[in-house]
Amino acid sequence: MYIEQLGVELPEDPHAIIWRYCDLAKLVSLLDKKELFFPTLEALDDPYEGVLTGNTLTDALKHFCDERPRKNVVETWKNARKQVCVNSWHMNTHESAAMWKLYLKRDEGVACCRS
């Protein structure tokens, strides 16, 4: 079930297929611990992952504008990378070779989907 969040655009199709690509070690950990792993944005290889852009930045500025100067919103978000945790999924009708390459360091992995 999708729940509306600040700055998050819901898909037009509520039955859209979403994929989770992970290596075998992460799958075994998921099954063993029965819990998802949420790394912080700072722990990810991509320094631009989670950067405020477009609607997300506009919504954040609207939300914080009354309380803080706009400059501080961007600085606050940079600092939040140490605390904001994520779990990446990919919305597509089919598997993606690019996602396999991006999320698997070796040839062992799995793609789970919710349709």
Determine the pLDDT at residue 32.
Answer: 95
| pLDDT means over runs of 10, the chain (115 residues) | 66 86 88 91 84 70 62 73 85 89 82 82
Task: Name the amino acid, one letter, at 19.
Answer: W
Determine the pLDDT at residue 40.
Answer: 93
72 CB-side CA count, 13 A: 8
Contact 90, 100 (CB under 8 A): no
Determine the pLDDT at residue 70.
Answer: 60
Closest by CA position to 20, among listed 67, 88, 75, 105: 88
